[in-house]
Amino acid sequence: MFKPQRRIEEDELPSPQDKLDMLQQTINMLQDADYVYIGMDHFAKKGDDLVKAQDNGSLYRNFQGYSTNADCDVIAMGVTAIGRIGDNYSQNTRDLEQYEALIAKDRIPVFRGLELEPDDILRKDIINQIMCYFRLDIAKLEARWGIRFTEYFEHEFTHLNDMEKEGLIKISEDHIDVLPAGRLLARSVCMEFDRYLQEKETQQRFSKVI
């Protein structure tokens, strides 16, 4: 997207395996220093509110990261800032002059937004569970949403089964568990439930996300 990024030669970057090795080494070092691996690239000291929230089931993840304020509204302030009210997301204008001009006119400086559909909210629920707890409770999800999970996500199971064969996840009748080997790739598991992604090749998607 940005010129400085386009100047980077891809073949000079660490390989996906090197990145995984560095991440694992970092996780080990932080855990040895009494930090808890919350997930993704987030760590917290034992006794921190994030750790307590993960333990009691109130941890939440939004587009800003992990939070103990589950599912709350977010007011966007500043250029390009993203806000969320209920099931509606909006983004402020990217241009500083335009932003200041709109503020001067007492107008909300939003230039685009979207409202989540029921399917979006369902998938958001799934992704949040996997990101926060490395586990998806299928039985509770079916009861809450009135769906048959294997039928609703029949297409997704093609790649999920591949992940199970690779030892990244374990699929049972009532749960999907992200195994220790798959926790470094939890984002890839979540990507299988993102219907807006166009990439379908599992290995390519692993490489892109690492």
CA distance 136 to 177: 6
The answer to whether residues 70 and 124 touch, using CB atoms and an 8 Å cutoff, is no
pLDDT tens figures, 111-122: 999 999 999 999
Q: Domain extents for the chain?
A: 1-66, 82-115, 117-210
pLDDT for 30 equals: 94
For 63-86, give the DSSP string. Answer: TTEEESSTT--B---STT-EEEET
CB 161 within 8 A of CB 171: yes
Q: What is the mean pLDDT of each run of 10 residues along the chain (210 residues)?
A: 84 88 90 91 92 92 84 90 93 96 95 94 94 94 95 91 93 93 87 77 55
Domain 117-210 bears CATH identifier 1.10.10.920? yes
**CA 70, 73, 79, 80: dihedral to nearest 10 degrees?**
70
Supply the pLDDT for residue 147: 95
pLDDT of residue 207: 57
What pLDDT does 49 receive?
A: 95
